[in-house]
Amino acid sequence: MSSRAAPTGAAATPLVAPERLVAGFTRALRRVGVAVATGSAVLYAEALAKVGLEDPDGVYWAGRATLVRRPEDVELYDRVFTAYWSEVTPLRLTQTQVQPVTLALDEEPDQEEIPDDDGPTGPDGDIRALRWSAVEVLTERDMGTLTAEEWAEAQRLIAALRISTELRPARRTRSSRGRSGSYPDLRRTFRLNVRHGGVPVERAWREPVERPRRMVFLLDVSGSMEDYSLAMARFAHAAVSSRRAGRVEVFTIGTRLTRVTRQLGRRDVEVALRTAGHAVSDWSGGTRLGDCIGEFNDVWGVRGLARGAIVVICSDGWDRGDPERMAVEMGRLSRVARRIVWVNPLKASPGYAPLARGMAAALPYVDQFVEGESIRSLEHLAALVSGAPGGRR
Amino acid sequence: MSASELPTPHPTLLVPGDPGLTVDGVAAALAAHGYLADEGLATSIFLALVLHRPLLLEGEAGVGKTEVAKVLSAWSQGPLLRLQCYEGIDISQAVYEWDYARQLLHLRAAEASASMGAAEDEVYSERFLVRRPLLTAIDHGEGPPPVLLIDEVDRADDEFEAFLLEFLSEYAVTIPELGTFRAARPPIVIITSNRTRDVHDALKRRCLYHWVEHPDFEREVAIIALRAPQAVPELGRQVAAAVEQLRGMHLYKPPGVAESIDWTAALAALGQKRMDERTIDLTLGTVLKYQEDQNRVRAEGVEQLVRSALQRGA
Ligand SMILES: Nc1ncnc2c1ncn2[C@@H]1O[C@H](COP(=O)(O)OP(=O)(O)OP(=O)(O)O)[C@@H](O)[C@H]1O
Ligand SMILES: [Mg+2]
């Protein structure tokens, strides 16, 4: 870390009290998108009191330990660190100075709670206001052709979709009435029968709980796919708000792999997808689906994120990379995923055949190949991921 | 055994709770116990000790996350309490459980001697309590506080994470029949995750965080020298170089430090003083655990791997 800029003592730089420094630094981090809670900022101040301010490496690592909570943020942290700490010279930080840390931060409230299952429910009400026939028409329309107004309406319709995911058995159990598939619950049986001297007069049973499977979305954001992928991101968000769907993860693919799960449900998901997409147009030759899926496999998929999950890939399969790579990576993915659903809006066009090289290479590993160009086909997709009859395996 | 016979901590090293502890002091103490931490990891361990916060270590398989807890236990001489997480883990495996079989026997015996009333109360006393790691961690006796290792927390589910958050805020456990147990001195807590899924933010915020990377080349060489001293130094350098290259190959399971150590040991056991194609081929299974990966490497040419390992390791 010798290259790290030391907080210099140059006379020109202002002397700033440590708690202001911490507040300023965390604000700068938030500005670039690193989520820093107030509690973490306070912890950083405490950590600085222990490592001191003289050694830039200590200042750096104390921040890494207290303010950064995921490796993706390290790069941003590094950038802000260099920019910020080379600007200011802190007062010497001693323990007594730091004790009553009152950080005057412009705060969003700090949420310390783990939300329970009762997450937000989908919007309702305003949909009914739309004239039935208008809705009917919109659901059939190709989403690549909507006006801004229609698109807004379409988003509302997607948000209202009821999405549940196929169930998997979990190891956790719950009390039951002793139907088939149950087994005796010793703990409760004993407790029920203490009065009978432990003779099991009444019996208690447990049965395995079933849980919804995880869903992973890989959304192609190259030029022609943008609108459909955005619709899929809304679809993914509708799944997040549904109590009957499993955990949801969303990534964009195209020229590179980007995780956008955190932006989901915020306005920036649109920004995130569009920026990712603007890096590439269809004929620029930049789309590398195989590489992106490979990166997903390496970094997330085979490590467990895709294991037992329902993976939904939304792409036209137009790939400038090596089809061999595509086949290899799809093979790896299919070995860990529960099933792979490929959504290709082009499939809705009359006479479509999967001739794009990438698409042809991927197809043998795809369990279900569906359209997804309209809201109607998203409804169909919702039925698919719920494991409704007709789903394979 | 009298107190004087108990092993004493390394004389030149401070114990984890010492007020004079520094980051360098932590690194030195870990090294003395066979663990070579870089500055980032040493700083986060130091902060965990002095701020009394749990430390969450995330990283690829085999980068040395679990080992941190073991080494801390050796250094502090606090007992190591390991809770291995899995999907569906619950209170009865993590905190406590009643010993039903013994409770039942006790009731039967009481029945025979016609003292049922008292027996019903007695069966819910500490005698019949089975302590699991989290309870043991806060209800420890004299001596240095234990090191609580909550391993692979990413495998547990949301409910358990919510419980952990509460546990790590209070360091207390309530058993309805017995009351509340509270730690006089909190344990040292190390939580590990392979990041198969994200640990909840609230839990992360409760902890200090460090993303553990594979060691850089020189550190890996040093780790190998420390853990496989039977091998000649050149061999260790070559293995470190080869492993570094394998990690860049997008394998299904890239080798961790454990694999470097095992590989070096295997080559040394074959009497090797340097790498060659034949012995690499023989021992590839110690470093690559998947057939698929072994095939990949063989297909791309072991020869090339050896060549660059010899070059870099020189
Ligand atoms: N920095 C290090 N210094 C000394 N030994 C190390 C170091 N890092 C790793 N090791 C060695 O590597 C082995 C594997 O480490 P460990 O089991 O802690 O990895 P892990 O990150 O917990 O992996 P997993 O995710 O597979 O559980 C340890 O037994 C230890 O011998
Ligand atoms: Mg481990």
Is the separation of the CB atoms in B94 and B135 below 8 Å? no
Per-residue confidence (pLDDT) for residue A95, from 0 to 100: 34
The answer to whether A35 contacts chain B (CB < 8 Å) is: yes
B177: its two tokens: 């029949």
pLDDT for A122-147, tens place per residue? 333 333 323 334 555 677 878 777 77
| Short-list B4, B38, B18, CA closest to B222 | B38
Residue A12, pLDDT > 70, answer no
Name residues whose C-beta falls within 8 Å of residue A259's C-beta, 6 or more positions apart in sequence: A72, A249, A250, A251, A300
How many CB pairs below 8 Å do chains A and B form together? Answer: 119
- How many Å apart are CA A104 and CA B172, to the nearest integer? 32
The answer to whether B249 contacts chain A (CB < 8 Å) is: no
Rounded to the nearest integer, the mean pLDDT of chain B is 88
Residue A2, pLDDT > 60, answer no
Is the separation of the CB atoms in A330 and A303 below 8 Å? no
Cite the beta strand spans of B20-71 per DSSP E.
55-59
Q: What region does A123 belong to: left with phi over 0, alpha with psi -120 to 50, or beta?
A: beta
A114–B202 C-beta distance less than 8 A: yes
The sign one gets for the Cα dihedral A192, A197, A198, A200 is negative
Per-residue confidence (pLDDT) for residue A87, from 0 to 100: 63
* Residue B276 or residue A320, greater confidence: B276
pLDDT for B175-214, tens place per residue? 888 888 998 889 999 999 999 888 888 899 899 999 999 9
Q: How, if at all, do strands B179-182 and B172-175 pair?
A: antiparallel
- Residue B300: band (very low, low, confident or very high) from pLDDT cuts 50, 70, 90: confident
Which residues 45-74 of chain B have a CB within 8 Å of chain A? Answer: 46-47, 50-51, 53, 58, 60
- How many Å apart are CA A230 and CA A241, to the nearest integer? 17
| Short-list B12, B72, B10, CA closest to B46 | B72
Substitution target in A111, A114, A307, A322 with the highest count of B β-carbons within 10 Å is: A114
Output the CA A302–ligand 1 centroid distance in Å.
Answer: 20
Nearest by CB to residue B23, choosing from A51, A171, A305, is A51
Mean pLDDT of A317-326: 84
Mean pLDDT of A64-73: 93
The answer to whether A57 contacts chain B (CB < 8 Å) is: yes
Residue B247's closest chain A neighbor by CA? A298
Per-residue confidence (pLDDT) for residue A243, from 0 to 100: 72
Residue A49, H or E segment: helix A38-51
Q: What region does A198 belong to: left with phi over 0, alpha with psi -120 to 50, or beta?
A: left
Name residues whose C-beta falls within 8 Å of residue A118's C-beta, 6 or more positions apart in sequence: A243
* Residue A384 or residue B207, greater confidence: B207
Is the separation of the CB atoms in A85 and A59 below 8 Å? yes
- How many Å apart are CA B190 and CA B151, to the nearest integer? 8
Q: How, if at all, do strands B96-98 and B208-212 pair?
A: unpaired
The sign one gets for the Cα dihedral B232, B235, B239, B240 is positive
Residue with tokens 């050896």: B306
Residue A255 three-state SS: coil
What are the counts of helices (DSSP H) followed by strands (DSSP E) for chain B?
A: 15, 9
Per-residue confidence (pLDDT) for residue B8, from 0 to 100: 46
pLDDT for B96-122, tens place per residue? 988 888 888 888 887 777 666 677 778
* pTM for this predicted structure: 0.63
Is the separation of the CB atoms in B92 and A187 below 8 Å? yes
A310 CA: distance to closest CA in chain B (Å):
15
Which of B63, B153, B216 to probe ligand 1 with, by most ligand atoms within 8 A of CB? Answer: B63
